Amino acid sequence: MARDAFIDNPAEEDKNCSIHNINIFTLLNVDHADVAYLLQWLNDNTGGESWDDINAIDAYGLTALHIACIYGASWEVINGLLDKLDEKVINAIDNQDGETALHIACVRGASLEVINAIVTHKHGKEQVSIKNVKSKLPFDIFPDDEEERDEHLKNVLKLHDLMEFNDPTTSSYPNGLLQSILNLPSEDRDEFEFMNHSYFRKGINAKIIKPFSLSILFLDVAVQGLVMAVFSFTINGAVKKLPTTSMAGLIPCLLWLLFRELVQLSSATAKFYFGDAANFVDLIQIVLVGTVLLISFIGKASIDEGLLVACIAVAWTRLIFVISNLHYSLALFVAALLQVSSSWYIEFTILAMM
């Protein structure tokens, strides 16, 4: 029996082939040592009477797909298995580390073709958003070596291309792959390379255009516009006092800003959150708004001119950052500005230490 009979198009009458027959034609036609481990697992965990036996899950929660990924099975073997396994088995999580087959494929450095076969399979898309016991998504697993890490990041972009080529609906996939990239600190990714990549942009756009996401973005713009207007146009320049109406407007703005940051902190890793310069601008503004409101409530001191200048500068800066979420060209400008600022900061730090 030809290899394609197992890999791609098993005949209807072959659905009851014994596991021993599978052994023979697979070993004869697929020249990979990994198949021997897979077949041993199948012999140990299935009755060997029908194709349905391939859907076995052993005592450790492992499946044939797990085993194939553990032993570095080829694309042909992985693709063949995917066509034979049911949805439950494809997305099975092992009992030891809470990992899917995709986790294992990423850890073991599987080829892009293997990973792409899993991700673009109709039953494998959910795996990109499943976390293991260490709260790691499959694509959160990156090599420690800097050169290997850079190569891995380039491969992630290549994977995007493969996914988009094989399935035009990839932008609607669960956001695990996209989230893994966003979780990377800015120094570990080329902002322009990722932001200009078609899959990345489509993934972001697919989420932003949802009504709920758009409403949040426009609310954030409105809140920031109000904060900017209060500091820039309503404070009495002579006595440096904040009018009562302005105070009433700033209070809900401060509550929104606090809520927004708490949500971000709870939904992202600390490394990612504090690795994003925009979040520092948010935190600085919260402190400044809180300070101005506190001074205004006490009513025994005027707002210092330096504090007012800082409030205005930060309010305008954050307004630009917020609007950039709605305008691609402005987003590129902000990314470039942050990159230049980061370079200046590093150079200044080095000079200060000399």
Supply 31's token pair.
């020249």
Rounded Cα–Cα distance for residues 39 and 27 (Å): 9
* Percent above pLDDT 90 for the chain: 16
pLDDT, position 219: 92
Q: For the chain, give every domain's residue range.
A: 3-207, 210-353
CB distance 278 to 314 below 8 Å: no
Among 20-24, 29-33, 71-75, 239-243, the range scoring the smallest mean pLDDT is 20-24
Give Cα 157 distance to the centre of its chain: 13
What pLDDT is attached to residue 78? Answer: 86
Q: 241 has which bridge partners?
A: 236
CA 339/CA 187 separation, integer angstroms: 9
* 228 against 1, higher pLDDT: 228
Give the per-residue pLDDT at 349: 56
* d(C-alpha 11, C-alpha 28), whole Å: 19
What is the per-residue pLDDT for 137? 85
Which residue from 67, 154, 69, 71 is spatially nearest to 119, judged by alpha carbons? 69
Rounded Cα distance, 52 and 19, in Å: 11
- Partners of 57 in the β-ladder: 63
Judged against a pLDDT cut of 70, whether residue 17 lies above it is answered with no
Q: Is the pLDDT of residue 49 over 70?
A: no
- Give pLDDT, residue 222: 93
pLDDT digits (tens, 9 = 90+) for 305-334: 889 889 999 999 899 888 887 776 777 777
**Highest mean pLDDT, choosing among 59-68, 117-126, 199-208, 222-231:** 222-231
Give the tens place of pLDDT for each residue, 240-281.
788 888 889 999 999 999 999 998 888 766 766 776 778 888
Tens of pLDDT, residues 210-222: 777 788 888 999 9
Give the pLDDT confidence score for residue 1 in this predicted structure.
26
What is the rounded distance in angstroms from the CA atom of residue 101 to the CA atom of residue 79? 13
Report d(CA 203, CA 172) in Å as an integer. 7
Query: Which pLDDT score is estimated for 73?
Result: 82
Give the percent of the chain with pLDDT over 70.
67
What pLDDT score does 9 carry?
38
For 3-207, which CATH class?
A: mainly alpha
Task: Give which of 251, 288, 282 is closest to 268, Cα–Cα.
Answer: 282
111-144: per-residue pLDDT in tens?
888 888 898 888 888 888 888 998 888 888 766 6
Look up residue 63 and give its DSSP letter: B
Radius of gyration of the chain (CA): 27
In terms of C-beta density within 10 A (0-12 exposed, 13-18 middle, 19 or more buried), how is residue 227 classed?
buried
User: Best-predicted range by mean pLDDT among 29-33, 227-231, 263-267?
Assistant: 227-231
Mean pLDDT of the chain: 75
CA 5 to chain CA mean position, Å: 37
Report which of residues 125 and 1 the model is more confident about: 125
Write b or e for each residue in 185-220: b if 16 or more Cβ atoms lie within 10 A of its Cβ, otherwise e: ebeebeeeebeebebbebbbebeeeeeeeeeeeeeb
Average pLDDT over residues 83-110: 89
**DSSP annotation string for 169-227:** TGGGS-THHHHHHHTS-GGGS-HHHHHT-HHHHHHHHHHHTSHHHHHHHHHHHHHHHHH
Residue 110's pLDDT band (boundaries 50, 70, 90)? confident
Dist CA 223 CA 290 (whole Å): 15
Q: With CA atoms as reference, report the closest residue to 274 among 146, 195, 183, 140.
A: 183
Q: Which of 7-21, 146-160, 209-223 has the lowest mean pLDDT?
A: 7-21
223 CB-near residues (< 8 Å, 6+ apart): 252, 253, 256, 257
pLDDT of 5 reads 32
User: Tokens 């917020």 correspond to what residue?
Assistant: 322
Burial call 283-319: b when 16+ CB within 10 Å, e when fewer? ebbbebbeebbebbeeeeebbeeeebebbbebbebbb
